[in-house]
Amino acid sequence: MSFATFKDAMLSGETLVFGHRGAKDYAPMNTIPAFELALEQGAAGIELDVHRSKDGHPVIVHDFTVDATTDGDGNVVEKTLDELKRLDAGSWFSDEFTGLKIPTLDEVFEAVGDSLLINVEIKSMDTETDGVEQVVADCITRHNMRDRVLVSSFNPMTLKRFRPLLPHVMIGFLYMAGMQMDTESMIEGFAHEARHPYVDMIDEQYMTWANDNNYFVNTWTVNDPERAKELKSLGVNCVITDAPDLILKAIQ
């Protein structure tokens, strides 16, 4: 399923399937092979995580450190792109992927930007910025991806900083129950197009509320085929999954 723009996809009436950090059940998360496999399996898009490297590049890593998914250690934002590129980002998953490198957002756009819609999650826990919003905005502009991305974050301050940089790019607010900070209060009054709740938050009442407030609903992480069918029947716009092939088979 292919769409020219993210907005077209959200308005299609279809329940879309996105690869969560790519097809991460089958390849190392947040790597080019994982993204390409999501495309091969038939996903409409992918979700990925972006940090700003020490020297100002948008790099794709989920955690705030590189410890879990590379042979290195330390905070992502304290490493230059060259230092990050020296790391092995594949062997932790399997020997087949030994030597795989952490990609930049530029490299992802070049590899799959014409074929997949991309949910760019900006990783930030701070009220102050390290400049990640500008770095992401510049990359989106550089690759003419404004219409093919949605920018999301758990951090309302990040979303508020991003909006004036690229006002026409769609924005999604990520959240779940039991968060340490009351981010739902922080986002009140801020115009955004989509809500990205954790899957357990969604029921008929939630969808009625979202529709009444004109929010698209994109949810994570949906790996149960029966739950995916329920979400489709409720009218969820997008399910984000570790196994796009499995969920597509269930809801098509």
Contact yes or no for 103/61 (Cβ under 8 A):
no
With bands split at pLDDT 50, 70 and 90, how would you rate the model's confidence at 182? very high
- 45 contact partners, CB below 8 Å, separation of at least 6: 6, 9, 16, 18, 19, 116, 117, 118, 119, 238
Nearest to 29 by CA among 62, 78, 75: 62
Q: Which residues pair with 81 in a beta bridge?
A: none
For the chain, the structural domain boundaries read 6-49+113-251
Q: Encode 211-245: b = buried (16+ Cβ within 10 Å), e = exposed.
A: eeeebbbbbbbbbeeebbebbbebebbbbbbbbbb
**Predicted local distance difference test score (pLDDT) of residue 40:** 98
pLDDT in tens, 34-64: 999 999 999 999 999 999 999 999 999 999 9
What value does the mean pLDDT of the chain take? Answer: 98
pLDDT in tens, 9-21: 999 999 999 999 9
**Predicted local distance difference test score (pLDDT) of residue 160:** 98
In the chain, the amino acid numbered 101 is K
Contact yes or no for 161/137 (Cβ under 8 A):
no
Rounded Cα distance between 247 and 1, Å, is 14
**Predicted local distance difference test score (pLDDT) of residue 20:** 99
Indicate which residues carry an active-site annotation.
20, 62
Q: Which residues pair with 45 in a beta bridge?
A: 18, 117
Contact yes or no for 92/33 (Cβ under 8 A):
no
pLDDT mean over 96-103 = 98
Indicate yes or no: pTM above 0.95.
yes
Take residue 53 and report the two structure tokens written for it: 């490297």
pLDDT over 80 (residue 1): no
**Predicted local distance difference test score (pLDDT) of residue 113:** 98
Take residue 136 and report the two structure tokens written for it: 């992401």
pLDDT over 90 (residue 126): no
With bands split at pLDDT 50, 70 and 90, how would you rate the model's confidence at 226? very high
Specify the CATH superfamily of domain 6-49+113-251.
Phosphatidylinositol (PI) phosphodiesterase (3.20.20.190)
Rounded Cα distance between 135 and 123, Å, is 12
**Predicted local distance difference test score (pLDDT) of residue 2:** 83
